[in-house]
Structure 1
Amino acid sequence: MTVNSNKISALAVEKLQRERRAANIPQRTIANELGVSRQTVNQKFQAGDMKLTEFIIMAFAVGVCPHEILAEAEALAEGGE
């Protein structure tokens, strides 16, 4: 089986964005945690790609486990639910 890391990454970032919205956490809060502007956070979500360290910091700021988001994204990329 071929793992499509770009697809997994994009799905994980999309899931993290949904979790952020569901938790009603503003991008400004995430930006403060990362030490960047809100616009930079928005760009990272829009691009669907970011550094692993950024993803982990964002996940903890949102209150979710990064490995659970990645596992779900991997399952979706493989065609599972």
Structure 2
Amino acid sequence: MTPDNISASAVNSLRVKSLLDEVPKTLIAKAVGMNRQVVARHLKSGDMRLSEFIKTAHALGADPVKVLADAVTEEKKKAPAATGAE
């Protein structure tokens, strides 16, 4: 479990939510204050600044703290399986 894995998992959760809820990237971009292409690139790469993450979560109606907590929990579940430890 690394910070990079956790942040990528959290951003991926937002990407999936945006796709499932069919939220246009232009709407997210307006809320975040950047253009649609940059938002799409950040969501796809799994990497964005914390302020962008929080604004994106709010634009999607998600609680950014819960999204991060869920990502930590998910990565903890993966960690023992990846190392073979229990």
Q: TM-score, normalised by structure 2?
A: 0.85
Letter in 2 for 1:66: P
Query: Are the equivalent residues in 1 in contact too, given 2:15–2:44 (CA < 8 A)?
Result: no
Tell me the residue number matched to 2:51.
Answer: 53
When Rg is computed on C-alpha atoms for both structures, the one with the higher figure is 2
Q: TM-score, normalised by structure 1?
A: 0.90
Letter in 2 for 1:75: T
Aligned residues: 78
Distance 1:15 1:46 in 2: 11
Tell me the residue number matched to 2:70.
Answer: 72
Taking only aligned residues, the RMSD between alpha carbons, in angstroms, comes to: 1.1
Tell me the residue number matched to 2:36.
Answer: 38
Q: Which segments of structure 1 move beyond 6 Å, counting only runs of 4 or more?
A: none
Unaligned runs of 5+ in 1: none
Query: Identity of counterpart residues, as a percentage?
Result: 35
Unaligned runs of 5+ in 2: 79-86
Tell me the residue number matched to 2:2.
Answer: 4
Letter in 2 for 1:53: S
Alpha-carbon shift at residue 59 of structure 1 (Å): 0.3
Distance 1:35 1:70 in 2: 22
SS at match of 2:70: helix
